[in-house]
Structure 1
Amino acid sequence: MTWLPRTLFQRNLLLIVALILVGQIGSAWLFRTFVTLPRTTLLAEGTVRELQALETGLGALPPAERSAFVAGFNGSVKRAVQRGEPPADTERWRATRLQRLFLNEVGERWALTGHTLQWRPLAEPDVGHVIQVRLDVQGQAYWVNLPGLPPAPVFSGAWLAATIATALLAILGAWLIQRRINRPLNDLVHASAALGRGERPSPLPVDGVPREIASVSHAFNDMAVSLAQSERERSLMLAGLSHDLRTPLAKMRLATEMLDGRAEAELLGTLNRNIDAMDSLLGRFLDFVRSSEEDRDAPAQADLNALVQDALTLCPADGVHWQPGPLSARPLRRQGVMRMVLNLVVNAQRYGAPPIEVATGEDGTALWLEVRDRGPGIQPSLAESLKQPFKRGDAARSGPSGAGLGLAIVERVAQAHGAQFQLLPRPGGGLVARVAWPG
């Protein structure tokens, strides 16, 4: 639901406040049902009995003494009234809801005696709010102060202080709950991000955390161990296979050299080209394995331009234009960055077309490296899939042979540096391979 808060802290706070409000409403309802209403009923019954006794007493007195008796009775009731803020005048006032409930109860029971309850609210100086009831005795009306009237509730600062304290306790409770839950969740987020970059995160703690989060952490630790084991086995297999195949390739190359001049030159040329292609493929396999091992090395402050310059000296420079920009030093893995540059340049030379430009730069948001060519480019829908190991585009399948590991190596090195690797169309035709480090 869109109206719900987005953060866990806000949802916990809303839940706690809602529960407190429901609890207060429930407590108020229970207090009204089992305390206020029974007390009001008992008070009304007692008041009706007093009125009956007062009416009987007035009837027994001589008419000349009744007014004095009523005045004395009203005075005693005034002295029993709980004093509040004395009214400034004697204007009429409205009875509270509780007082009206009380008067309704008195009226119902007074009606059972054959009388109709007539009352009026008064505000008398130095006394407070009182209610008078009319008693008819032998045709004469007397207004007497109603005894037992529940006092009007007075707003107190204690209520406001209790409300604020409750709200603050709700916020504090939500914060404590969020802190307890959020800490292991943040650890899980950071570990997942590190695993996504190809790093090996430290095992998440499973002691001292809630059981549910401990189960998630334990499952994540098992998954990380399983992925690391699979990665080691794959790297070991590729390294072993590449190393073992180098020996028969060396024997085949020696055989072709011994046959030089004794076999057809065209056949020997074909064999040598195939041997070179297989040797290149094995070299790519080893590069892929080495890139995995280099990810474990700690980065050190380095100049990206210097690393790119060193990498360009190791690859054919035909048609490559180097355009360095002003850069600041940052933590980099030297061998990984050089391997990344070599693969991007070789990929552009193999599948693109000159001129090939290698450029670096830095803006307010990122430090970047770009390798641009004027080849056929690639379809945007295939950009992500080509970063996977052993994935090759249509042009690569019909063109020069390769293992489909070059861009996968670049992607792995970029992830290890927390950088983003993109394959973008170049304006005017071609491809831009861009690696951007966040600023």
Structure 2
Amino acid sequence: MARTKLAFSLFWRTFFLLTLLLVGGVFAWMQTFRALEVEPRAVQAAQQIAALVNLARTALQASDTINRVALIKTMAKQETVRLAPREPGDKWEAFEVDRFSRAIGAELRAQLGTDTVVASSVNKQPGLWVGFMIEKDPYWLQADSSRVGTLTWGTLGLWGGIALLASVFGSALIARAINRPLQELSFAASRIREGEFDSILDENTMTAEIRQVNMGFNRMARELAKVEEDRAVMLAGISHDLRTPLARLRLEAEMSVNDDEAKRNMASDIDQLDAIIDKFMDYARPGDVKLVPVHLSSLVDREMAAFRDTSQIRITARVAIDTKVLADEIELGRVLQNLFENARRYGRSTDTGIAKVVVTYARTGPWVILSVRDYGPGVDPAKLAQLTTPFFRGDAARTAATGAGLGLAIVDKAMQRMGGTFEAANAADGGLVCHLRLKKAP
């Protein structure tokens, strides 16, 4: 079997590409935003801290020595702001360790003076500590460190998650809008392949390219419908015009030819011409079929009964009586007739000269596979794929009888009309086996 290539529908390809583009855009936006918001946020935080320091400095400067101590004690009781004298023995750690903290430190010095000290902890007490001078007296102001925090990864993740969800949803809507005209075109093309020419695509769509494609497709469908109608009329006329002189020839042969053998030969030739006309009509038959539950066993038995000459063909069927498939009973009957006739002509055993045919079945999921096998010489493997080509014949071993070369082509076309498939292969121990794949009836 040929290796099946992994393929995605156009919708999923468009969806994945749009999602990848939008996700990349969201990630780039987050990185850019995070980089650009550092300096404005640092300036804003530094201004808030500087305002606290200036407020504390003004309050201390306006107080005398006694009131200043009381003010410091009062502010020390606050949870967010604390004032304390700066002692020579205080141990502190630098606050400026990254880009954001360095920007805060630079802004504080610009507003409070170059002698300003910014620390992340003093005497192992964490916080944002700002050292400043009041009349040559050094002080510490401790502020809540949350005032100068950057955006956390949790916040960024939440924003990014919302943006990603919106991107995925938007990608699905865009991909669906882009691919809807193509889906409609694909569906209409599949209906034409099945012989239905009444599909009409929208010729008033806003997209100019799609509108032109739809107009061209509708025009093609109308032309194909006209060609199909003309072909049916032409073949019906040919059939009628040919059968009339054939009937006259048969009558004249019966009345004017005295030699019985010559009369039989002429009648055989006329029958063969009539059968060839039937094959042409079968192949050109319109594609309208009505699928209904069909009892497979009964249909096989009925078609077997038409091949009663055991000197040419012997058919054995092994199909369960409760097996039903969705098919057109008349079409499926023609399929079996063609397969049995093909085996009678080309599948005869080399030792007995009789075509032995075995009909079996198998159920696989929602399908029923009906197999028709002969024990003849088989077909050249290189020519198996061409067996369903109209007017093609296999090698000389399978072309001992004359015919139109349409039998298996009719089978393949009829199976497609019924939503099934037809496959032909050489059996391992000789002979040709044909598989009919049909939908299982409920």
TM-score per shorter chain, which class? Answer: 0.7 to 0.9
Q: Is the alpha carbon distance of 1:194 and 1:304 closer, same or farther for their aligned partners in structure 2, counting shifts above 3 Å?
A: farther
- TM-score, normalising length: structure 1: 0.72
Q: What does residue 335 of structure 2 align with?
A: 340
SS in 2 for 1:383: helix
Instruction: Check if 1:313 corresponds to 2:313.
Output: no
1:360-379 alignment, distance < 5 Å: 360-365=360-365, 366-379=367-380
Bigger drift between 6-15 and 409-418 goes to: 6-15
SS in 2 for 1:100: helix
User: 2:153 & 2:32 partners in 1: Cα distance?
Assistant: 22
SS in 2 for 1:322: strand
Kindly state the Cα deviation for residue 401 of structure 1 after the two structures are TM-superposed: 1.7
Kindly state the Cα deviation for residue 432 of structure 1 after the two structures are TM-superposed: 0.6
Instruction: Check if 1:285 corresponds to 2:280.
Output: yes
Q: What does residue 121 of structure 2 align with?
A: 122
Kindly state the Cα deviation for residue 213 of structure 1 after the two structures are TM-superposed: 5.1
Q: What does residue 427 of structure 2 align with?
A: 426
- Alignment: residue pair count: 410
The one of 294, 318, 321 equivalent to 1:302 is: 294
SS in 2 for 1:301: strand
Kindly state the Cα deviation for residue 361 of structure 1 after the two structures are TM-superposed: 2.3
1:32-431 alignment, distance < 5 Å: 35=40, 95=96, 97-104=99-106, 119-122=118-121, 129-133=127-131, 142=138, 144-145=140-141, 151-153=148-150, 155=152, 161-181=158-178, 184-200=181-197, 202-205=199-202, 216-261=213-258, 271-289=266-284, 292-293=285-286, 295-318=287-310, 319-326=313-320, 327-353=322-348, 354-365=354-365, 366-395=367-396, 399-431=400-432
Q: Is the alpha carbon distance of 1:166 and 1:124 closer, same or farther for their aligned partners in structure 2, counting shifts above 3 Å?
A: farther
One-letter code aligned to 2:298: A
Kindly state the Cα deviation for residue 340 of structure 1 after the two structures are TM-superposed: 0.6
Kindly state the Cα deviation for residue 419 of structure 1 after the two structures are TM-superposed: 1.1
User: 1:402 & 1:328 partners in 2: Cα distance?
Assistant: 33
Kindly state the Cα deviation for residue 316 of structure 1 after the two structures are TM-superposed: 4.5
Kindly state the Cα deviation for residue 330 of structure 1 after the two structures are TM-superposed: 3.3
Q: What does residue 21 of structure 1 align with?
A: 27
Kindly state the Cα deviation for residue 408 of structure 1 after the two structures are TM-superposed: 1.1
User: 1:163 & 1:317 partners in 2: Cα distance?
Assistant: 79
One-letter code aligned to 1:131: W
One-letter code aligned to 2:200: P
- Extract unaligned runs of 5+ from structure 2: 1-5, 83-90, 349-353
Q: Is the alpha carbon distance of 1:359 and 1:77 closer, same or farther for their aligned partners in structure 2, counting shifts above 3 Å?
A: same
One-letter code aligned to 2:119: R
Kindly state the Cα deviation for residue 430 of structure 1 after the two structures are TM-superposed: 0.7
Q: What does residue 87 of structure 2 align with?
A: none
Kindly state the Cα deviation for residue 80 of structure 1 after the two structures are TM-superposed: 12
Kindly state the Cα deviation for residue 38 of structure 1 after the two structures are TM-superposed: 7.7
User: 1:136 & 1:374 partners in 2: Cα distance?
Assistant: 114
1:372–1:432 Cα contact (<8 Å) kept: yes
- Extract unaligned runs of 5+ from structure 1: 59-63, 84-89
Q: Is the alpha carbon distance of 1:78 and 1:217 closer, same or farther for their aligned partners in structure 2, counting shifts above 3 Å?
A: farther
1:11-51 C-alpha deviation (Å, 9 max, x unpaired): 44333333333344444555557x5588799x69x99xx8x
User: 2:256 & 2:344 partners in 1: Cα distance?
Assistant: 33
1:122–1:132 Cα contact (<8 Å) kept: no
Q: Is the alpha carbon distance of 1:30 and 1:219 closer, same or farther for their aligned partners in structure 2, counting shifts above 3 Å?
A: farther
1:199–1:416 Cα contact (<8 Å) kept: no
User: 1:170 & 1:324 partners in 2: Cα distance?
Assistant: 58
Kindly state the Cα deviation for residue 406 of structure 1 after the two structures are TM-superposed: 0.8
2:116–2:130 Cα contact (<8 Å) kept: no
User: 2:123 & 2:193 partners in 1: Cα distance?
Assistant: 80
Identity, in percent, stands at 27
User: 1:91 & 1:418 partners in 2: Cα distance?
Assistant: 84
Q: Is the alpha carbon distance of 1:32 and 1:236 closer, same or farther for their aligned partners in structure 2, counting shifts above 3 Å?
A: farther
Kindly state the Cα deviation for residue 411 of structure 1 after the two structures are TM-superposed: 0.6
2:195–2:288 Cα contact (<8 Å) kept: no
User: 2:406 & 2:391 partners in 1: Cα distance?
Assistant: 6
Kindly state the Cα deviation for residue 246 of structure 1 after the two structures are TM-superposed: 1.9
Kindly state the Cα deviation for residue 208 of structure 1 after the two structures are TM-superposed: 6.5
Q: Is the alpha carbon distance of 1:233 and 1:320 closer, same or farther for their aligned partners in structure 2, counting shifts above 3 Å?
A: farther
